[in-house]
Amino acid sequence: MAERPPLAGRRVVEVLATSAGGVGAHVRALLPTLREAGADVGVCGAPATEELFGFTATGADFTPVGISTGLAPVADARAVLQLRRALVGADLVHAHGLRAGLVAAAALRLGGRQRLPGSNPPLVLTLHNALQEGGGRLRSALQALERLTVRGADLVLAVSSDLAVNARRAGARDVRVAPALAPPLPPAQRSRAEVREELGVADGRPLVVAVGRLHPQKGYDVLLDAVGRWAGDDAPPLVAIAGDGPLQEELAARIDAERLPVVLLGRRGDVADLLGAADVCVLPSRWEGSPFTAQESLRAGTPLVSTRAGGIPELVGEAADLVPVGDATALADAVRRVLTDPAHAAGLAEAGRRQAARWPDEAGAGRRVVAVYRELLGAPEAEHR
């Protein structure tokens, strides 16, 4: 008799807020393994996430729930009601990010019922990001919401150790570190020469690539400070930034005003091509958990210069040059060293490939999540008969 799939007969619902990057890609990567484990899988999130990531293409069903990324009490109340309806029949709920976790916890408690064992589906919360916004009263309010959310989860998965420490400090009952692994990029479609020609990079000129949302967390202002320090070099590199976001106009205006050798590429679907053409990838973030850009760079064998922020050191080990957060001089010097020291660049590329080979693949990461779900759900009723 064939072995019963571990999640057979179980309804699992993944919940996420508006996402255009890592969180949505992480959820999308989990779905095939959950389906293979026998689960009936639903995804709840903003309609744009389904358009961008195609959750239903895996066999999951999708229910639009308007969970925003910022504080919006009226919208959040509406999302709680929407999600409550969508969770009918769920055996387990997995929320990705604090916003989704807050709405999910509220939906499970709607009507004033206490979260007693067996009264509601277990709630898993994955923490992908640290609090970055505001100060004073706003930050205090966000911290209070963070405490409420992590305490409402049966299990917290943190993508980096610092997030795990914060969750324990906030009162989470069960916290485990589980890095979010980037799905493999599709193979590069164009040669290094073709990409560099498109970008207007002359022969012999270095190309520096950065990939990520144009958001204050990503530290692009510090990167532009570093670029300014290359102005006197004989052949200053061209810096190409792939991504879109709220800082688009501000960064573009500064690049024009200071005549910096930087081009904003917008959101791109050819990151593998860009990394293959780059002499170095740079990640100047103020904080990261388990950044996809770092993973993609190491897998591609593109030397990485990054800030020593959040979960980056534990992710990359010795396979990248790490600099202090916010230090434009150190960032500029580290990039310059990679560009002028071929032996060092080659060493980073090889170390990156070795480090990446140690990470589990998508299926392995998915199986770890299946094991967590199985632990929380226990044996199906049929197995007790």
Asked whether residue 39 is assigned to any structural domain, the reply reads yes
Quote the CA–CA distance of 94 and 101 in Å, as a whole number. 8
Quote the CA–CA distance of 142 and 134 in Å, as a whole number. 9
Residue 14 has a pLDDT of 97
Higher pLDDT, 313 or 76: 313
The mean pLDDT value for 211-226 works out to: 96
Quote the CA–CA distance of 182 and 201 in Å, as a whole number. 29
User: What pLDDT band is residue 132 in, cutting at 50, 70 and 90?
Assistant: low
Asked whether residue 310 is assigned to any structural domain, the reply reads yes
Return the percentage of the chain with pLDDT > 70, whole number: 90
Q: Are 177 and 319 in a shared domain?
A: no
Q: Are 197 and 330 in a shared domain?
A: yes
pLDDT in tens, 258-271: 999 999 999 999 99
Residue 17 has a pLDDT of 87
Q: Are 126 and 175 in a shared domain?
A: yes
Asked whether residue 160 is assigned to any structural domain, the reply reads yes
CATH assignment at residue 21: 3.40.50.2000
Asked whether residue 259 is assigned to any structural domain, the reply reads yes
Number of Cβ within 10 Å of residue 128's Cβ equals 23
Q: DSSP letter at 190? A: S
Asked whether residue 5 is assigned to any structural domain, the reply reads no
Q: Are 135 and 231 in a shared domain?
A: no
Q: Are 303 and 253 in a shared domain?
A: yes
- What is the number of structural domains in the chain? 2
Q: Are 349 and 365 in a shared domain?
A: no
Quote the CA–CA distance of 289 and 283 in Å, as a whole number. 12
Residue 382 has a pLDDT of 42
pLDDT in tens, 240-252: 999 999 999 999 9
pTM of the model: 0.85
Q: Report the DSSP pairing between strands 92-96 and 123-127.
A: parallel
pLDDT in tens, 332-380: 999 999 999 999 999 999 999 999 999 988 778 888 999 999 999 985 5
Q: Are 144 and 249 in a shared domain?
A: no
Residue 117 has a pLDDT of 44
- Please report which residue ranges of the chain form alpha helices under DSSP H: 22-36, 47-53, 73-86, 98-109, 136-151, 161-169, 192-199, 220-228, 248-258, 271-277, 292-300, 312-316, 328-340, 342-357, 362-377, 381-384
Q: Are 22 and 159 in a shared domain?
A: yes
Residue 133 has a pLDDT of 53
Quote the CA–CA distance of 331 and 283 in Å, as a whole number. 9
Q: Are 372 and 280 in a shared domain?
A: no
Position 31: which residue type? L
Q: Are 340 and 369 in a shared domain?
A: no
Q: With b meaning 16 or more CB within 10 Å and e meaning fewer, what string describes 305-335?
A: bbbebbbbbebbeebbbbbebebbebbbebb
Asked whether residue 228 is assigned to any structural domain, the reply reads yes
pLDDT in tens, 28-47: 999 999 999 999 999 999 88
Return the percentage of the chain with pLDDT > 90, whole number: 70
Structural domain including 217 reads: 192-357
Asked whether residue 186 is assigned to any structural domain, the reply reads no
Asked whether residue 2 is assigned to any structural domain, the reply reads no
Q: Report the DSSP pairing between strands 175-177 and 262-266.
A: unpaired
Quote the CA–CA distance of 370 and 5 in Å, as a whole number. 10
pLDDT in tens, 58-106: 999 999 998 876 666 666 788 899 999 999 999 999 999 888 998 999 9
Distance of CA 214 to the CA centre of its chain: 14
Whole-number mean pLDDT of the chain?
89
Residue 131 has a pLDDT of 65
Q: Are 320 and 366 in a shared domain?
A: no
Q: Are 168 and 34 in a shared domain?
A: yes
The mean pLDDT value for 153-170 works out to: 93
Is pLDDT above 60 for 185?
Answer: yes
Higher pLDDT, 131 or 324: 324
